[in-house]
Amino acid sequence: MNGAEALIRSLLASGVDTCFTNPGTSEMHFVAALDRIEGMRCVLALFEGVVTGAADGYGRMKDRPASTLLHLGPGLGNGLANLHNARRAYSPIVNVVGEHATWHQQYDPPLASPIEQIAGANSRWVRTAASVKTVGADAAAAVAASLDAPGGSATLVLPADIAWTQGAEVAGPVAVRARRKVDESRVRAAADALRKGQGALVLNGPMLRAAPLELCGRIAAKTGAELLCPTQINRAERGAGRVAIDRIPYVVELAQKRLAGIRSMVLINSRQPVNFFAYPGKPSLPMAEGCDVVVLAELDEDGADAAARLADLLDARRAAPKLEPLARPPLPSGPITLPGLAAVIAALMPERAIVSDESITSGRGLVAATKNAPPHDWLVNPGGSIGFAMPVAIGAALACPDRKVLCLQSDGAGMYTVQALWTMARESLDIVTLVFANRAYEILKGELKNVGAGEPGRKARDMLEIGRPDIDWVALAKGQGVPASRVEDLDGLARELRAALGERGPRLIEIRM
Amino acid sequence: MNGAEALIRSLLASGVDTCFTNPGTSEMHFVAALDRIEGMRCVLALFEGVVTGAADGYGRMKDRPASTLLHLGPGLGNGLANLHNARRAYSPIVNVVGEHATWHQQYDPPLASPIEQIAGANSRWVRTAASVKTVGADAAAAVAASLDAPGGSATLVLPADIAWTQGAEVAGPVAVRARRKVDESRVRAAADALRKGQGALVLNGPMLRAAPLELCGRIAAKTGAELLCPTQINRAERGAGRVAIDRIPYVVELAQKRLAGIRSMVLINSRQPVNFFAYPGKPSLPMAEGCDVVVLAELDEDGADAAARLADLLDARRAAPKLEPLARPPLPSGPITLPGLAAVIAALMPERAIVSDESITSGRGLVAATKNAPPHDWLVNPGGSIGFAMPVAIGAALACPDRKVLCLQSDGAGMYTVQALWTMARESLDIVTLVFANRAYEILKGELKNVGAGEPGRKARDMLEIGRPDIDWVALAKGQGVPASRVEDLDGLARELRAALGERGPRLIEIRM
């Protein structure tokens, strides 16, 4: 058995059965081995930003890694932005990056570059396979490293000669460390903080799943604490029947206002809230001055257990959490408005939908509007590097083939990984993509003012607007095999969205704003 | 004056007047300053791979850097693959990468990442601006560093607060070091090597421009040496009236055959030839065993001066170089074939055309077919990371607005930076793009065999073919504002190419293979 085959069989033995890829020459033995091995689903993307974003979406929905197969340093580089987002989402991913044959590296061939250095920017675990004897074990170690709480990217660099040499061995799975339990003193400190009043539980990561969230809802009900999550979350199980929780707004002034009344903040698997950017004369943190920040559980600790013990200590187990009721808005009509868009989506989104949200300015109001929709999952971009939503939708659709994926895509960000549409078509993925075509990096117009740079003149505006020429999203979708249509009012959107949701397979709707 | 303004004015003072960008919040003061400053042309791209590729093409044609403006680590990451290619082309580029405000970095905000580490993969010079007082001088130093022979990327990281703080100063240009002259002993050694017979001059970089090439042609004529260049070149001035020079083939067996008779190789501004990839049982270098490799001039040395001294020593100044005659092939007719494609292009390409060539397998035969076309420049990808040709064409068109750019684009590589079409349309660039639509990573089918992995089965083939669904390049082009048409035979190609060359502005022709 050669190294490539042992690597794939070891990934399978550790439960990794999906590989997103755009391979090259140095990865050909991996590709060839696919023909000899049952069980590894290999998904081609036309650009590596799609590959890594898809792996992020898959990891979030499965809580298990997919693998990626990337072509040397440049292939990894192309995937770096969505690996950055995945790092901030703590998504488990196993990257396999091909490298030149060991004896060829001394000649610094054209595609050579410092792969480990590039990978180190976003990977928590980086290793170059050193021998065909151990490459199977490397793969198993990578899977375990990706799952080590809170989760992240593990990158295995695979020299071509190790892939093609015989004598490799399959490795069984490596045990993943259990999350550490927190010290009792931390539980008591959190209880003390909440007993003072004007408290908040700030949740992230696994705490935003339905069961731990419900537990925190009981603590909130008992203590009067608020339930909050940062702007940057990974995956939230939300909607009707789930506990109400507020996301801290992106805009600094709104975040400050939201947090003004909070005197103590208990973090469970969440970092402290921090503003996305610095602005002249504004603080970096949105909390009120003097707000006490208590860490109940670090990101890698067992937040659910800590919350359970906190609930016990506070005698909150039987308090009734505030659950969101089911309430669909009526379908609106007339010209496109942001509240109107939000209402159409809230009125029509199906139960168990997975929402991949990169709607940015066009989506303001969407989170609030959909909280009473049927239960669903909401995936957002905690890393801030655009080009996120369509690739993540691909991964989510492959992880959960029985669920409808709704991809909310701003046009500027969408162009970053527009090649994702082709993979949606090739794999017949059940994804409805709404493109909010406002023909601008609208958020940057606000940011230009926020940083104190004044009103943009012609030259600055040219860098913020993406009209001239207008992008025809229907053409871009159809050109890659995805059926598409354009709507210019809410009635059209309701009609097209209802039709798209009623069928299986990829669809795109361009919303002219 | 704030730091952003001083930076732009210092770039202008050092002769940098073009900026390719996709900016974000941390770059808003740079963008705002554009309105107050005359002379900096700022070109928006919808993805940073287009930004950095355009800067590569611009640097190759101008022998001066453009600047890029990139949004933090992820923006730099998106541009990394084409910076890799630019590194292998030794193209001068000044990258300005925005960073969080200095005081904000301690909170590890969502977009934070190790920018210097990422930049270090491809930049020869990396600096983070430390003070508003010195940011102008940093910019001037970056320009000089990018031009220091043989040329490369200089990356200046710009914290947002340094951009927006007042008290900055404009810096004048920093002198660029002259290329070192080579030792006389090296000239004598090269002469001795050539006198033995069965010699070759291997040229790259500045030696592929018309004048030094002609000089080397005289040396070749006098000594019987062959003129060769590696597979990986940067920019060649070639065509009718220029000295004939042979490019070493990409395919290992063909390269070995081509070099079989060479007993001594004199390198002038060229690295020794190396195979792109290693293959089981094949050597890394294509030269015959025992071939003597003599370095006349290292990459950063004055190759033209060394060649002149070598010519003097060999009394070759008056030898007649072998010049390519002007000879257009007749226009072929009938179904698409590779020789037919090459003949149509050779028959129609205009004088002084700039060819950005990423035709890969579809372009085999093109280089030979066009050597007797009117004089032109040929740009190829010496780094091997695909998604090169359309961005490089953009930079070349902006550097040389009076010349027609012909972009030869394979379909698989073209999808990597398909967003380039939009910038061609917005800037009305005079670029004719031919897309060779064979719906496959055709080269990888050969590579799969070359690495000894046998014939691909269904699953492997799925990773090598990009049909199902077929990509409609006419739709992708029109959807981004570029007029486009499709041809299915050589007659159609001749008709459409002639029409496109007869007009100004971007055009795309999809060639169904």
Chain A residues lying within 8 Å of B103, measured CB to CB: 278, 284
Instruction: Give me B419's structure tokens.
Output: 């967003």
**Beta-strand relationship, A199-203 and B354-358:** unpaired
Burial code of B359-382, b = ≥16 C-beta within 10 A, e = fewer? bbbbbbbbbebbbbbebbbbbbbb
Can you tell me the mean pLDDT for B466-495? 97
Residue A166: per-residue pLDDT: 97
Does the beta-carbon distance from B453 to A29 stay under 8 Å?
yes
Can you tell me the mean pLDDT for A106-112? 97
Residue A363: per-residue pLDDT: 87
For A17, counting Cβ atoms within 10 Å of its Cβ (0-12 exposed, 13-18 middle, 19+ buried), the class is middle
> Residue A415 and residue B59: Cα distance in Å, rounded?
26
**Cis before A150? omega within 30:** yes
Distance (Å) of CA B261 to CA B202, B255, B266:
14, 11, 14
Q: What is the pLDDT of residues A227-238, one digit of tens each?
A: 999 999 999 999
Does the beta-carbon distance from B111 to A385 stay under 8 Å?
yes
Residue B228: per-residue pLDDT: 98
Distance (Å) of CA B29 to CA A104, A177, B72:
46, 46, 14
> Residue A159 and residue B100: Cα distance in Å, rounded?
36
What percent of chain A clears pLDDT 90, i.e. is strictly above it? 96
Mean pLDDT (chain A, rounded): 97
Does the beta-carbon distance from B110 to A276 stay under 8 Å?
yes
Alpha carbon B148 to its chain's center = 18
- Please name the residue that has the structure tokens 């990509």: B471
Instruction: Give me A446's structure tokens.
Output: 């606000």
On the CB side of A311, CA atoms within 13 Å amount to 23
B373, pLDDT greater than 90: yes
Kindly report the nearest CA distance between residue B314 and chain A, in angstroms: 32
> Residue A266 and residue A285: Cα distance in Å, rounded?
15
Does the beta-carbon distance from B121 to A113 stay under 8 Å?
yes
Of B284, B462, B475, the CB nearest to A44: B462
Residue A449: per-residue pLDDT: 86
Neighbouring CB atoms inside 10 A of A262's CB total 21
Domains observed in chain B = 3-164 (3.40.50.970), 184-313 (3.40.50.1220), 338-512 (3.40.50.970)
Tell me if chain A has a CB within 8 Å of the CB of B74. yes
> Residue A146 and residue A155: Cα distance in Å, rounded?
9
Q: What is the pLDDT of residues B250-270, one digit of tens each?
A: 999 999 999 999 999 999 999
Does the beta-carbon distance from A453 to B164 stay under 8 Å?
yes
Residue A49: per-residue pLDDT: 98
- Please say whether the beta carbons of B142 and B97 come within 8 A: no
Kindly report the nearest CA distance between residue A381 and chain B, in angstroms: 10
> Residue B54 and residue B51: Cα distance in Å, rounded?
5
- Residues 112-151 on B with a CB inside 8 Å of A are 113-114, 117-118, 120-122
Single out the residue of B202, B421, B189 nearest to residue B309, CA to CA.
B189
Chain B residues lying within 8 Å of A117, measured CB to CB: 117, 120-121
Instruction: Please tell me the pTM assigned to this model.
Output: 0.98
Burial code of A124-147, b = ≥16 C-beta within 10 A, e = fewer? bbbbbbeebebbbbbbbbbbbbbb
DSSP class of A207:
G
B363, pLDDT greater than 90: no
Mean pLDDT (chain B, rounded): 97
Alpha carbon B470 to its chain's center = 29
B452, pLDDT greater than 90: no
Does the beta-carbon distance from B25 to A276 stay under 8 Å?
yes
**Cis before B110? omega within 30:** no
Chain B residues lying within 8 Å of A42, measured CB to CB: 459, 462-463
Of A75, A471, A480, the CB nearest to B471: A480
Kindly report the nearest CA distance between residue A50 and chain B, in angstroms: 10
Q: What is the pLDDT of residues B188-240, one digit of tens each?
A: 999 999 999 999 999 999 999 999 999 999 999 999 999 999 999 999 999 99
